[in-house]
Amino acid sequence: GFVEGEGSLWASINQVPKSRLGIQINVGFAVYQQEGGLALLRSLRDYFHTGRVYLKPGSSDVWVFEINDRRSLTEKVIPFFEQYVLPFSCKFVAVGNATGTFWHFKQLLSLFEQKKHLDKQGLIECVTVVYKTNQLSKGKPRKRTLQETIDLIESHG
């Protein structure tokens, strides 16, 4: 329950005009704690043997443990979720009849492993999956609609 309550699986899309396809997708797993939970975040780093602990930018007392290396996410975080989080989770599994964030996140990592993000059609497939994860992250929609993001990719270079 701790990771479900204090953690997140995230995927962000950034417009990078100088990149080959104009869009970059970043993914990660993060757990947040006030300064009193700093030892717990360090123990997560020790458990996973990867990631980093840092002070959240713009905050004086919120700390973050984060893994954003795709290989570590696939080899360490996904199995951890499957064994320890999913059997007890509702947040990551499903909301209503929709497939939950975890499954979209896992699908996205699989697409990266298949190198789908390296060509326009594959990147559009990846972006479509990203838009299914955390549809209202922090209660707000994404900056661009899915179609606007697809248009950026199709019109780039």
Q: What is the mean pLDDT of residues 25-53?
A: 96
Confidence of residue 101 (pLDDT cuts 50, 70, 90): confident
pLDDT on residue 90: 65
pLDDT on residue 142: 82
Encoding tokens for residue 137?
């992250």
Q: Specify whether the CB–CB gap between 91 and 102 falls below 8 A.
A: no
Residues β-bridged to residue 48: none
Q: Specify whether the CB–CB gap between 64 and 37 falls below 8 A.
A: no
pLDDT tens readout for residues 102-119: 889 999 999 999 999 999
Q: Residue 26: pLDDT above 90?
A: yes
| Residue 116 backbone phi and psi in degrees, to 5 | -65, -30
| Residue 81 backbone phi and psi in degrees, to 5 | -60, -45
pLDDT on residue 143: 86
Confidence of residue 134 (pLDDT cuts 50, 70, 90): low
Encoding tokens for residue 87?
């059997």
| Percent of all residues in the chain with a pLDDT value above 90, rounded to a whole number | 69
Nearest to 130 by CA among 113, 118, 114, 112: 112
Encoding tokens for residue 88?
């007890």
Q: Residue 11: pLDDT above 80?
A: yes
pLDDT tens readout for residues 67-97: 999 999 999 999 999 898 887 776 666 554 4
**Gap between the Cα atoms of 34 and 85, Å rounded:** 22
pLDDT on residue 21: 93
